[in-house]
Amino acid sequence: MTTPLRLGIAGLGTVGVGVVKIIRQKANLLAARTGRPIVITAVSARSRDKDRGVNLADYAWEDDPVDLAKRDDIDVFVELMGGHEGPAKDATEAAIAAGKDVITANKALLAIHGQALAEAAEAKGCVIRFEAAVAGGIPVVKSLTEGLAGNDITRVMGVMNGTCNYILTRMQDAGLPYDEVFAEADALGYLEADPNLDVGGIDAGHKLSLLSSIAFGTKVAFDGVELEGIQRISIEDINQAADLGYRIKLLGVAQLTGRGLEQRMTPCLVPADSPLGQLTGGTNMVVLEGDAVEQIVLRGPGAGEGPTASAVMGDVCDVARGLRISTFGVPVGALESTQPAQSNSPAPFYLRMALLDRPGALAKVATVLGEFGISIDRMRQGQHDGSEAPVLIVTHKTQRSALNEAIAAMSSTGVLASDPVALRIENV
């Protein structure tokens, strides 16, 4: 008789319920694939009485996830609560202290406390697996740690927040302003409880920092991610970008360069006909580049019951099979500390501004750009709106820091009617 793998599941929201359903419905298949039964011993959630549409009567109930984490009759603590402090952190730490393996979908927890948790897990001989934390149903962690293990990873890119991609593509397709589409996304239940996690780029930044660590063997450095949300993207930007042959995406890019670790999660223009440009709705896409494989593109649902439970189950099956990979792909002591890249790689930029419509205003802007070594590739002035003239400039390659300095200098010339919008152009 083979020994079952016994799970304690904390959190019975969308993902937790999805995991329970798969384990109940596919018991034979899972046992055949892993060589042992996978069983749920106990569960924990905020409300015991809520009808979740699944039968939980076979499982012990714990009100406190910390008590669940410490139970002698579980081998794996499955953390599906979320949040980087409070019960999720306390229970994960308790599970590791009790020698349990941990499977989590919690990107915030790992982005902020991943190093300490990985150290604790390694000291106890436990594993932490987190496929569901990054890009929902896309097995990107597995791709990096296993399928691409023979590569030096050179770059990781992607769209990793489905809500932002939904908002940006809906604005484009329906010609609707940001606020209206944001309200729609809210009504559809797409937004995190704190919407800034989505539209502020934080959720996607957490995910990128985890992928960077695995890709480059570096300590998780969420603090080093250059973050910018999509809140300032207007329908005008969407339309101007489309006219230029681009789409606007909240794009993550990570690469280890001679200047340090470059990690950015910012709205960018990408070619409309590129795989990233064609990504619509809540779908995610991750592009992985390695010296041997060259480039692979993974595309799939970034959230939702089935896709996220699918990712959790991949980890459950790996643990059941006895696969024990270090949290971030190499032993925690081998993870390197890196400096954030002092200056990001140069790129062309899209610069939209409203100028006060007076003689010499445009000349002043052009002069300031020249003073900061920024060369103009294309420029056009749109229909005047009262006393303001909308101006769009596409620069030649420059560094974001130089552009920021130029924008600050423009502000002091008194010709700007509002803050310019500057977006990197990634010709991916």
- H/E stretch holding 392 reads strand 388-395
Residue 376: in which H helix or E strand, if any? Answer: strand 376-381
Give me 278's structure tokens: 């064609």
Strands 260-271 and 226-227: parallel
The SS3 assignment for 402 reads helix
How far is residue 268's CA from residue 285's CA, in Å, rounded to a whole number? Answer: 15
Give me the 354-393 binding string for ligand HSE, x by CB under 6 A, dash otherwise.
----------------------------------------
User: Which of 115, 163, 395, 398 touches ligand HSE by CB under 6 A?
Assistant: 163
* Rg, C-alpha atoms of the chain: 24
Query: Does 70 participate in catalysis according to the annotation?
Result: no
Q: How far apart are CB 166 and ligand HSE at their closest, in Å? A: 8
**Cα(43)–Cα(399) distance, integer angstroms:** 51
Check 207, 219, 249, 397 and give the catalytic one: 207
Residues 283, 243 contacting (CB under 8 angstroms)? no
The stretch near ligand HSE (CB under 6 A) out of 159-167, 221-229, 239-247, 372-380 is 159-167
Nearest residue to 144 (alpha-carbon basis) of 251, 298, 263, 258 = 298
Q: Exposed, middle or buried: residue 37 (CB in 10 Å: 0-12, 13-18, 19+)?
A: middle
Residue 198 binds ligand HSE (CB under 6 A): yes
Site map 82..121 versus ligand HSE, x via CB under 6 A: ----------------------------------------
**Number of residues near ligand HSE (by CB under 6 A):** 8
Question: Which residue of 64, 122, 184, 192 would you call a contact of ligand HSE, by CB under 6 A?
Answer: 192
Task: Compute the least distance from the CB of residue 313 to ligand HSE, in Å.
Answer: 17
Name the burial class of residue 175, with classes exposed (0-12), middle (13-18) and buried (19+) by CB atoms within 10 angstroms of its CB. Answer: exposed
Assign 14 to helix, strand or coil. Answer: helix
Smallest gap from Cβ 72 to ligand HSE, in A, equals 32
Q: Nearest-CB residue to ligand HSE?
A: 163
> Closer to ligand HSE at the Cβ: 277 or 302?
302
Q: Taking Cα atoms as reference points, which of 391, 427, 397 lies closest to residue 236? A: 391
Nearer of residues 96 and 303 to ligand HSE, judged by Cβ: 303
For ligand HSE, the closer CB: 34 or 165: 165
**Could you give the 3-state DSSP secondary structure of residue 50?**
coil
Identified binder of ligand HSE from the candidate list 302, 307, 390, 420, rule CB under 6 A: 302
Stretch that binds ligand HSE, among 155-163, 334-342, 360-368, 396-404 (CB under 6 A): 155-163
Q: Between 123 and 183, name the residue whose CB sits nearer to ligand HSE.
A: 183
Q: Is 305 in the site for ligand HSE (CB under 6 A)?
A: no
In the complex with ligand HSE, the residue whose CB is nearer, 252 or 420, is: 252
Nearest CA to 315 out of 46, 24, 34 is that of 34
Question: Which are the catalytic amino acids?
Answer: 207
Give the interface with ligand HSE as residue ranges (CB under 6 A): 161-163, 192, 198, 203, 302-303
